[in-house]
Every structure is written in structure tokens, then in C-alpha cells.
Amino acid sequence: MNHALTEKYRRASQESLDQLILDNVPFVARILSTMDFTITDPDERENLHSAGILGLVKAANQYDPSRGVSFRTFAYPAIRGAIVDELRALQPVSQMVLKHIGMVRRVYESLEPPVTPEQLAEHSGLKLKQVIDCLEALRFIKPDDWNDLSDVVHDSWRHNVDSPEHALEMAELNELVASEIESLGEQERMVVTMYHRDELNMPEIGEVLGLSVPRISRIMATALFRIKEAIRCKTM
């Protein structure tokens, strides 16, 4: 290949890469809307968004479409991980919350599923709000524990090429999740539905319900925990 053709190919590849990044900038904002639960400073929010963009660029440079996985499926961990790292730097978890998380983990491992936040509070000696704060913090300390569930609840985020067997499993899991969402309390059901079905972000949900963003985040963490536990119990 001569120099002119090489340069033309390089420019075309760069343009394709740039377009892939530009097309997915809204995806970064979508992920961020689930995570900046106590960020009110515009500069800090911009830092989180910038971190997510860096994660997007990294994923775009590493993406190989020949593997049969959609770009958003591939990019999601890199984007979310970059935002989580920045969020941890902006809002480190306190030693007290870490201590409470340890207490909640020990109680959780001793109980039969499905475990509820109320049971965790009862057996740990913590207040329910403290337990919920722990569940919320765990979404950022160990985000991988929550990613798959979030993707199942809002399965439009995943478009990878699956085997028929996997597609059937996902359909069954989606049906199970939908059933568990319906069994939630009214407020939890409304928050999950508005976020995943109606695609409102947490500030918008807070405005609809007349609740603060931190409160919406705690409700979301509790609802996802209840769904996760119900599924764990039924699939054991």
C-alpha cells in the first residue's frame, strides 16, 4: 500500500473513531445520571462527565467489532469505572460507613435469601437508614455487583450477539425482573419505572415526586437490592 493510500486509510479510520465517540457522548450522560447522587456542584459534575468521556475514548480505541459485541456493551464498564474512580476521589466513603458495611455483610451472609434491608437492620443493630446508606455506598465500592442487574432491568443497554440459549435465559430473567418490580412498594416501583422505562434521570424523578436526589438514590439502591435478592432466591 503506497503512502497516499495509507494516509487515506488512517484518516478514514480516525474519522470513524471520532464519530463513534461523538455518537456515544449521550450514553456517558445516561450512565452518569445514575451515579452523581450527591453531586450538586456544577464543577464536580463536569469532572465526572469528563472522566466518563475519557472512559469512552479508551473503550473506543480498544473496541473490536469483529467480536460480535455491541460498542455500548463493551464501553459500559470502562465509562462507569472511570466515573466511579472520579466519584470516589470527590466523595470518599467514610470510615464509619465502611465499618457499617462490614457489619451488614456479615449479617447478610448469615441470613437465608431473600434478605431484606429491614432484616439487615434488625440483625445488625443498625438503623434502617444506615443500612440503606450502606447499600447505596456498595453501588460505588463494588459496582460490578450492580451492573448486570441494572442492565437486565433496562435491557436496551445491551445489544450483543447472543446464542439462542442465552437469549431465552435473558427473556426469562427479564420476565422475572418485571414481576419483581411490580411487587415493590409504590414509591420504589415508581422510581425504578420512571428511571428504566421512562428514562428520567434522578433529578427529574426527584422533581416529579417532590424528593431530593439523595433520597431518590437511596430508594433506587433499596429497590435494586430487593429485586436482586428476590431473583437470587428464585434462581438458587
CATH of 143-236, one of 1.10.150.450, 1.10.10.10, 1.10.3720.10, 3.40.50.1000: 1.10.10.10
- Upper half-sphere CA count for residue 139 (Cβ side, 13 Å): 25
Q: Is the pTM of this model over 0.85?
A: no
Sign (positive or negative) of CA dihedral 201, 207, 208, 211: positive
Which of the listed CATH numbers 3.40.50.2000, 3.30.460.20, 3.40.50.1820, 1.10.1740.10 matches domain 1-91? 1.10.1740.10
Cα(227)–Cα(113) distance, integer angstroms: 12
- How confident is the model over 49-70, as pLDDT tens digits? 999 999 999 999 999 888 887 8
Q: Are 104 and 224 in contact (CB under 8 A)?
A: no
Burial-class residue 217 by CB neighbours within 10 Å (0-12, 13-18, 19+).
buried
Contacts of residue 39, Cβ cutoff 8 Å, sequence gap at least 6: 45, 48, 87, 90, 91
114-171 pLDDT tens trace? 889 999 999 999 999 999 988 888 766 665 554 444 444 444 334 444 445 545 555 6
Q: Which sequence spans correspond to the domains of the chain?
A: 1-91, 93-141, 143-236
